[in-house]
Amino acid sequence: MLGPEIGIGVTDPKASGAALLPGEIPAMKRAVETRRLEFAAGRSAARQAMRELNLSPVAIPMADDRSPVWPDGVIGSITHCNDICIAIVAHKGSEHGIGIDIEPDGLLDPDLEAVICTPSEREWLDTQNTERRGHLAKQIFCVKESIYKAIHPLIGQMIEFQDVEFLRPLQPNSPIALTIGDRTTRLELRLMSQTLDDKFFSFAALDDMSAMFLLSLESVS
C-alpha cells in the first residue's frame, strides 16, 4: 500500500512479548509496565520493517523529545494504539520524511476541536452533521500527527496543530499551509488515510521540493 521502498512492521503490545535491546532500556527505566510493553512492541515492529528492507535490526533508542533515533541512513515512524503497533522505515534518499499514526475511530472531544483545527478547518466542519463532525475532527487530528512525524526530524522543532492547515481537508494528497515562525508556505505531501476495523490510519510523506524547503529552514535556524 505504501510502496516497495517502505518497510512495514506490525505487532500487538499485549501479545508480542518483545524484548528491549540494550540501547533501548534506559528510556524505559522508570516506565510503567503497559508503557514498557507498548514501547517494546513498537521497537519490535520497527525491526520487522527494517528486515523487509534487508537492514540490520538494531536498537532504536529514544531522543530527549521522545522521538525514535534511527540508524544512519534510515528514516522511520512508529505509532501505537491499545492493541496494535505499526512501524514504517525507509532508506534516507528513497524517502525524505515519513510519518504514520493510528487512532481509535471515535469522536474528538469537542473541547479539543479548537486546539486541533484551524478556523478554516472548523468552517469546513460546520458543513457536516454533528456525529460526522466529531469523526472528521478526530481524523484531522490523526493526519496532523502523521504530518508532524514526517516533518519534525527535518527541522528539529515543535510544530503546533494550528501550524498545519489543510487546503482540502481530508482529501487524498491535500496540500497544506505550514506556518513556522512568521512564515507560511504551501507544501505538497503524499497523504493516505483509511479506516481499518475500529481504527483510523494515516500516512504522510514529503515530496522532494517540500523536503528541500524544510532543510533550508534548518540550515538557517
The predicted structure's pLDDT at residue 59: 94
The answer on 69 and 18 residing in a single domain is yes
The answer on 56 and 108 residing in a single domain is no
Burial of residue 50 (CB within 10 Å: 0-12, 13-18, 19+) is buried
Find the mean pLDDT for residues 10-37.
87
Write out the DSSP string of 13-64: TTT--PPPPGGGGGGGTT--HHHHHHHHHHHHHHHHHHHHTT-------B-T
pLDDT band at 203 (very low <50, low <70, confident <90, very high): very high
**Helix 208-220, helix 130-155: angle, nearest 10:** 60
Determine the Cα–Cα distance for residues 104 and 81; give it in Å rounded to an integer.
7
Grid cell listed for 140: 484531522
**Residue 184 structural domain:** 104-221
Residues tagged in the binding site annotation: 35, 43, 79-80, 101-103, 145, 149
Number of domains into which the chain is organized? 2
Q: What is the pLDDT of residues 45-64, one digit of tens each?
A: 999 999 999 999 899 999 99
pTM: 0.91
Residues tagged in the binding site annotation for Mg(2+): 101-103
- Report the CATH number at residue 152: 3.90.470
The residues, any chain, with a CB within 8 Å of residue 108's CB and separated by 6 or more, are 116, 134, 135, 137, 138, 140, 141
The answer on 54 and 32 residing in a single domain is yes
Which of 78, 95, 112 is the endpoint of a domain?
Answer: 95
The answer on 108 and 69 residing in a single domain is no
Determine the Cα–Cα distance for residues 140 and 120; give it in Å rounded to an integer.
13
Find the mean pLDDT for residues 112-133.
94
The answer on 109 and 27 residing in a single domain is no
- Report the CATH number at residue 36: 3.90.470.20
Residues tagged in the binding site annotation for CoA: 35, 43, 79-80, 101, 145, 149
Determine the Cα–Cα distance for residues 74 and 198; give it in Å rounded to an integer.
31
- Report the Cα 85 to chain-centroid distance in Å: 12
The answer on 108 and 215 residing in a single domain is yes
Tell me which range, 16-25, 43-52, 154-163, 207-216, is most confidently predicted by mean pLDDT: 43-52
**DSSP state, 154?**
H
The answer on 109 and 85 residing in a single domain is no
